[in-house]
Amino acid sequence: MSTHQRYLIAGNWKMNGVLSEAREFIRALAENPAPEHVEVALMPPFTLLHPLADKLSTRGVRLGAQNVYYEPKGAFTGSISPLMLRDAGCRYVILGHSERRDIMGEKNDTIRHKLDAAWNSGLEPILCIGEHLDDRKSGNTNAVLTEQLSVLEGSDAEKMLTIAYEPVWAIGTGVTPTTDEVRDTHTFIHQKLTDIGKDHRVLYGGSVNAANAAELLGLPGVDGALVGGASLQAESFSQIIQAAASCANN
C-alpha cells in the first residue's frame, strides 16, 4: 500500500554530466512535459544539484542525490550531509546502490546510519537492493534481499521509503530479468515491507530503456523505474516517462 503517485521515474546520472549538458538535457526534456500522474525525479552528481534545482522544480521534476553522509556537519572531508542536500533542494537520496556497495565497500551498518540521517532531515531515501548473478543462479535471491532489507529493522514505520530493486547483473548490461522474475521478486519485496507496516513503493532498475519500459512498468508490483544509462538522453528518458503514463492509464 502506498500513498505515493502511481509511478516514479527517476534518472540516476551516476558520475556523468557537466552543467552545459545538464542545461541542454532540461531544455530538451521540457519539450515533452511529464503527465501529472507520473512523478519524475533526477539524481545528477552533487555539483549539479544547486544549479539545477530551480530549473527542475519549475518543470515539476524532483531532485535527488546519489549518496549522503550520515553526520550533520563537521570534519568529514569530502562528504555531504543530509542538511546540505535539503539546502540544495533535494527531496530524494539514493542509498545502498550496488556500485557503492561493491566498489566503495559500503556495508549495511553504514547504510542504516544513512537511512536514519536521511529520514531525520526530511529526505526520502531510495534504498537499492539486488542480487548478483551467482545469487540468482543458486536460488539465493530472496535471502540476499532479506539481508539487505535488514537495515530497516527498528526504523520508524511511518517514514516513507522507496525501494529500487536492481539486480546487479542487469545494471548497464542490456540484460533484464524475465517478467516472471521481476514480478515474483517485487511481490516478495512488497510482502516484506507490508509485514513491517511500512509505507513504500518498489521501483525496478537495471537496463530500463525506451523499448522495454512499458513491459516492465506494466507488471504488477512495479511502481516505477530507476534508470541509469537511458536517463542521460532527454529523448530516451522522455520515452520512458511516456511509457509510464500509458501504463498508468491502463
In the complex, what is the shortest distance from the CB of residue 71 to ligand 13P, in angstroms, rounded to a whole number?
25
How far is Cα 26 from Cα 83, in angstroms, rounded to an integer?
A: 25
Q: Which residue is nearest to ligand 13P (CB)?
A: 228
In the complex, what is the shortest distance from the CB of residue 204 to ligand 13P, in angstroms, rounded to a whole number?
10
Instruction: Find where cell 536460488 sits.
Output: 139
C-alpha cell recorded at residue 133 = 548473478
Closer by beta carbon to ligand 13P, 226 or else 244: 226
How far is Cα 28 from Cα 231, in angstroms, rounded to an integer?
A: 12
Residues in the chain: 250
Rule CB under 6 A: which residues touch ligand 13P?
A: 12, 97, 166, 171-172, 205-208, 226-230
In the complex, what is the shortest distance from the CB of residue 138 to ligand 13P, in angstroms, rounded to a whole number?
23
How far is Cα 211 from Cα 236, in angstroms, rounded to an integer?
A: 9
Classify each residue of 207-244 as buried b or exposed e, where b means 16 or more C-beta atoms within 10 Å of its C-beta: bbbbebbbebbebebbbbbbbbbbbbebebbbbbbbbb
Give the ranges where the chain is alpha helix by DSSP (H). 19-29, 49-58, 82-87, 98-102, 108-120, 133-137, 141-149, 179-195, 213-217, 234-249
**Number of Cβ within a 10 Å radius of residue 117:** 21
172 near 229, Cβ under 8 Å?
Answer: yes
Closer by beta carbon to ligand 13P, 122 or else 172: 172
First to last CA, the chain: 19
How far is Cα 57 from Cα 63, in angstroms, rounded to an integer?
A: 8
Closer by beta carbon to ligand 13P, 38 or else 208: 208
How far is Cα 179 from Cα 44, in angstroms, rounded to an integer?
A: 29
Residues serving a catalytic function are: 97, 166
In the complex, what is the shortest distance from the CB of residue 228 to ligand 13P, in angstroms, rounded to a whole number?
2
In the complex, what is the shortest distance from the CB of residue 157 to ligand 13P, in angstroms, rounded to a whole number?
26
Closer by beta carbon to ligand 13P, 82 or else 228: 228
In the complex, what is the shortest distance from the CB of residue 133 to ligand 13P, in angstroms, rounded to a whole number?
14
